[in-house]
Structure 1
């Protein structure tokens, strides 16, 4: 058997504001760690199909956590992909399913005191899952990485083009809760800016204390969350952020390649996606949010 040498010139790999025009490939990553993910698969692929970004430039990586090869979620994902791959038009570049059991039940979504105590561990395990998916799926020709929740209800069809047009390292839209009456309810509270109060508070706690948003009854961090910012400023108005969620997050792939991932340990009092925000900022990269650009979570 003879070995073959491969030369990859990554100097020519760019992530630009004219991504579609330059035929830049995007990798969309979605961990499927909750059992109810099966209920959202049709809508997940329907929204991606409606995207104006060319499907042939889109790769999709899905992570299912199970040891059971007859797991209903795993079977549903495989059947969905088989249907999509039989299409001769509007096909995605590729769809890959990764199966890795993280031995944890991610189904508890209540905001009780017990859930609050479990959150650091749950987020640590989620961070490990994200890192596993990222390291498995990222290919040398991917210019962008998008983290997209499976249970989003809607987002603009041109969302990828709109976010890419800002030409920043990491950018997030404002993720709201989808309601029947169209009322304004913030969903992703992990997109935030530090304040003087939150910075002072962190000097009073131990290095291993994990700060979390969305649990105001148990922990008032005093941060400025994007879901609470004014939204009449226009969809292109962006604000710098210190922490980000991953309901819908667009990252230039070189940021991940150069070492920015999701810490499963407390990094400046954060783990998982908010720790990713810390890491990205610490590496000198830009992190921005768009308070008036909405995506909706189910």
Structure 2
């Protein structure tokens, strides 16, 4: 069972609605003296403007053929100058997410230098029962309405999706059951991606709800490299500013890790950050960070703290495997799939985003 609601940009929608209302009222007044008696007895009597618009939308004569030439859709280093649209996707997988987390999330996106009218946002709220968290939804809708009712600087649209996965994403059963949890996380991401991706999106940015800080120019900074998939270095926010790694899913394979994979069964899942398994991979958080933001490195695995993807990569079939794919699941399985399709993944060791300490 799923549902969603959409909050589109305020000024443009308000102006279009106002013009349509004026035109309808003018036409209605002009014809009312001639058709009033007939309309009162007609089965299609229009008792309100809302009914009129609804009836017209459903009329078989109003059907239209839409044509979209996807050859003209591009994702390039031009970014905002080329009016390329970004879809920001965030699954709200944890019940501990509060209105303060949501406010910070929107505040960070609102402060980016990429034009808000070129940014769409998709949020997914999973549930463990058929009944949604009413209070959480009310708070989220209220926050989104405040953003989208602004005359200026509104986002292109914000869509909230809800889906019952029958799984508690807050469960933490350790290394043994982590593959199953990651499998469910992958399903949630795939559901959000398939529901939210439109034909005018050039880029898809996966942004974690617990990211607390990143540069305001991050979209332009990542886009200008013009690669298929790119990630910054994800660190843990600390009070003293010390260097602590957070996202260990950004990595490169080594001879050691490749030999390990050849020695295990096809269904064995490689996981990073657990004492129970030493993969021998090179993590991006362990790479030199003094070479500047122009220094990018090829990667074999990526996380989801902040991941920018050319939309065509997703459109051509790269999603998040919920099953073992080359010993990986979820975002790391996505990286494997991207490579299998001939696309490239890159990271910037010296470009930081900060994640909340847990």
Which TM-score band (shorter chain)? over 0.9
Higher relative contact order (CA 8 A, sep 6+): 1
Q: CA RMSD in A?
A: 1.0
Q: TM-score, normalised by structure 2?
A: 0.80
Structure 2 unaligned blocks of 5 or more: 1-59
Structure 1 residues 45-194: aligned runs within 5 Å? 45-66=106-127, 67-108=130-171, 114-194=173-253
Are 1:21 and 2:81 counterparts? yes
- 1:259 pairs, out of 313, 317, 322, with 317
Larger radius of gyration: 2
When structure 1 is superposed on structure 2, of 37-46 and 137-146 the one drifting more is 37-46
Give distance in 1, aligned partners of 2:202 and 2:257. 35
Give distance in 1, aligned partners of 2:242 and 2:354. 11
Give distance in 1, aligned partners of 2:80 and 2:96. 33
CA contact (8 A) 1:35 1:73 kept: no
Structure 1 residues 195-214: aligned runs within 5 Å? 195-214=254-273
Secondary structure of 2:79's partner? Answer: coil
Give distance in 1, aligned partners of 2:209 and 2:331. 16
Give distance in 2, aligned partners of 1:225 and 1:243. 9
Give distance in 1, aligned partners of 2:296 and 2:143. 36
Q: What's the counterpart of residue 248 of structure 1?
A: 306
CA contact (8 A) 1:37 1:73 kept: no
Structure 1 unaligned blocks of 5 or more: none
State the 4+ residue runs in structure 1 displaced beyond 4 angstroms. none
Q: TM-score, normalised by structure 1?
A: 0.96
Deviation at 1:74, TM superposition (A): 2.3
